[in-house]
Structure 1
Amino acid sequence: MKITIIAGARPNFMKIAPIIHAIQRAKASGESIDFRLIHTGQHYDKKMSGDFFEQLGIPEPHANLEAGGGTQAEQTANIMIRFEQDLLANPANIVLVVGDVTSTMACAIVAQKLHVKVAHVEAGIRSGDWSMPEEINRLVTDSITNYFFTTSAVANRNLKLSGIEDERIFFVGNTMIDTLLKQMPRFTQPEVWKGLELKNKEYIVITLHRPANVDQDTQLKELIDTIVESSKGLPLVFPVHPRTAKMLQNIGIDAPNLHLIEPLGYLEFNYLVQNAKAVVTDSGGITEETTVMGVPCMTLRDNTERPETISIGTNELLGTNPKSIPPAFEKLFSNQWKKGGIPELWDGKTAERIVQQLLKMEV
């Protein structure tokens, strides 16, 4: 069995790393299985050097399609054109896509047009918010997927409600958590730890990147001002994209406990998260990681595609109204934040279950 694995952005590689390891183990034990790793180049990331792949313990991609840039439509078209050429030159039995980025959708379409079956890892998650490009990617991908690998019972239910048969849905768990649990012993203290004199559970991590939060001056200013006012002077560590950093400077936010730092690598960033008192974010993936690490998490979004991080984990959905922030911080500082638990099958063995299932498939 030949599997072409697609990754388009840095978080995708966190999700596919354990799948690659599981394929390598299966092949070493005599199973007829192999993979080809394609980086679509959807996102250029200067931190994705050889060291990045070495940290994850995976080979560098067999091909980089370098299809990034442009509008959503231009990017989708570039990925489709270049992936079609690659798949024609390197036939596969299955194309495996992960997550919900543009590459996920574009490569699924190409595979089906070439009559190659598609497996979607992290299938079935829904936010219900069609203003998010990711939601469109999820809907389109799952409408043409053959095999659905899911992270939760909620995702299973979403797929069944859309008419997907039970025999095509495989509840396997979360490969992002496979990577987290494997890498946790290797988390690395970033330089900023000593530079800011940070102490365990005595600082808060912020990550904001969604346009609704960072592209509007007044909204971003009000959010950050409210977080600063609610933080009781604790250090606020904000690994920030240069574009957002420039906007923060333009709107004149200058608080002694707010520290804007460069984006960090995976091992360094998760060291900060693991030791933080709390995380304030608008990222879906981080809510999964904080749930497993038992770190209180406040999500500044009006919806989430990962409701299990709220119903089971340590996450709370605050919405985008800054007025929701002070009560959440009061709850945090009064030690009333929920302890949370870990969702079913988020146990570090998801990739093994995926590969075992792939080996049973007739393709």
Structure 2
Amino acid sequence: MKTIHLIAATRPNFMKVAPLWHALSSENDYTVKLVHTGQHYDYSMSQLFFDELKLPEPSVNLQTGSGSHATQTAAVMVAYEKYLLEQTPDVVVVPGDVNSTLACALTSVKMHIPVAHLEAGLRSRDKTMPEEINRVLTDAISSICWTPSEDASENLLQEGVEPNRISFVGNCMIDSLNTMMPAIQSRRAWEQFDIEADTYCVVTLHRPGNVDDPTRLKAIINALMELSVRMPLVLPLHPRTRQQLDNMGMLPTLEQHGSIHIIPPQGYLDFTSLMHRAALVITDSGGLQEETTILGIPCLTIRPNTERPITCTEGTNRLVEPDSITSAADDALGSGVTTPRIPTFWDGKTAQRIVTDLNERFANNRVDNG
């Protein structure tokens, strides 16, 4: 019996690990322990997602909370090391690119425990993004790199990662989307705002590059207010975004705006229900670039780059700057609904391919830490 630690830290992580938890738990050869680092910790950012994705209570919650990058990374390393000293797994699976991803990977490798990186190989080539640092370093020390797309595998090969460490398995977030779609479609979350399906725009903002720069954030908000003249906007506010808008004195204006619906962070089902019947999505999130591609919804990503270029070349995504949001929205809405090319292995079967890969690696003694 092999023991697997699945690391969960933030909202995007939960959608990635849920299909894998269910797939591994159905196998007789694995004991799966869900490790919550506590990087996202309030109900709307954490427990609600566990409930909706039918994840069990974590085996442990490290309760590390928020803080600076150094504080948070160090806190997760110290807390996770203590847990690893109590019982040692055969593999630690770290998803995504948040601080907990790198922290748990570093801690495990230093204790000679193999690490598997779920969603490996994504690259924005932008070292000012903390997520890019986390991605590159985690891939460098992982024994197994499970990639979501062929370009991600190619990135790893170009960086000198040995081919036997790389397995192209697909996108686990799409597994969650496919599994939950009946519940999503029945939710009809937009009706609470008295707006019609397929007529509104969903907006999310949380990345420091957009939120922490008052000048850039003001330009984004001004563009959104201009767009709201033409269509209703639904804006679930991330806590850091709400705080910054409040500091800038812009929050009351948005809250009183007739065509902009400011709401708290939503659970997976309600948010995805809102998104899947939107006419347009404007975001700086990584995962939404992928989900809108599957759903065929035009997506504008307010960033100069993306670690998911396949969503632009094969999907519905395009990169925009604050001063081009309204014109890009007009172009996207004017072109109508598109039929994107669905990237290879974004088919809802990624978790099972991972289980197959893990079975083969254990059978052939190809799970090690060096």
TM superposition score category, shorter chain reference: over 0.9
Q: Deviations over 1:254-302 (max 9, x none)?
A: 6431221111110000001000000000101111111111111000000
The one-letter amino acid of 1:303's match is N
- Aligned partner of 2:94 in structure 1 is 97
CA distance in 1 between counterparts of 2:187 and 2:294 reads 21
The one-letter amino acid of 1:62's match is S
Instruction: State yes or no: 1:352 paired with 2:349.
Output: no
263, 271, 284: which one pairs with 1:261? 263
CA distance in 1 between counterparts of 2:267 and 2:181 reads 13
The one-letter amino acid of 1:119's match is A
State how many pairs are aligned.
357
Question: What is the correspondence of 1:101-250 to structure 2 with a 5 Å cutoff?
Answer: 101-187=98-184, 193-248=190-245, 250=249
CA distance in 2 between counterparts of 1:240 and 1:189 reads 24
Q: CA RMSD in A?
A: 1.9
- Aligned partner of 1:317 in structure 2 is 319
CA distance in 2 between counterparts of 1:227 and 1:2 reads 48
Distance 1:247 1:189, change over 3 A: farther
CA distance in 2 between counterparts of 1:327 and 1:274 reads 22
- Aligned partner of 1:279 in structure 2 is 281
Q: Deviations over 1:294-344 (max 9, x none)?
A: 1110000000000111000110111x3x22123212212322565322110
Asked whether the equivalents of residues 173 and 350 of structure 1 are also in contact (C-alpha less than 8 Å), the reply is: yes
Distance 1:347 1:47, change over 3 A: same
Asked whether the equivalents of residues 48 and 267 of structure 2 are also in contact (C-alpha less than 8 Å), the reply is: no
Which ranges in structure 2 are unaligned for 5 or more consecutive residues? none
SS across alignment from 2:117 = strand
**Larger deviation, residues 255-264 vs 342-351:** 255-264
The one-letter amino acid of 2:26's match is R
Identity within the alignment, %: 47
SS across alignment from 2:26 = helix
- Aligned partner of 2:326 in structure 1 is 326
How far the C-alpha of 1:70 sits from its partner, in A, is 2.4
CA distance in 2 between counterparts of 1:139 and 1:99 reads 11
The one-letter amino acid of 1:262's match is P
CA distance in 2 between counterparts of 1:53 and 1:241 reads 18
CA distance in 1 between counterparts of 2:277 and 2:337 reads 16
CA distance in 1 between counterparts of 2:72 and 2:181 reads 34
Which ranges in structure 1 are unaligned for 5 or more consecutive residues? none
The one-letter amino acid of 2:23's match is A
CA distance in 1 between counterparts of 2:238 and 2:139 reads 31
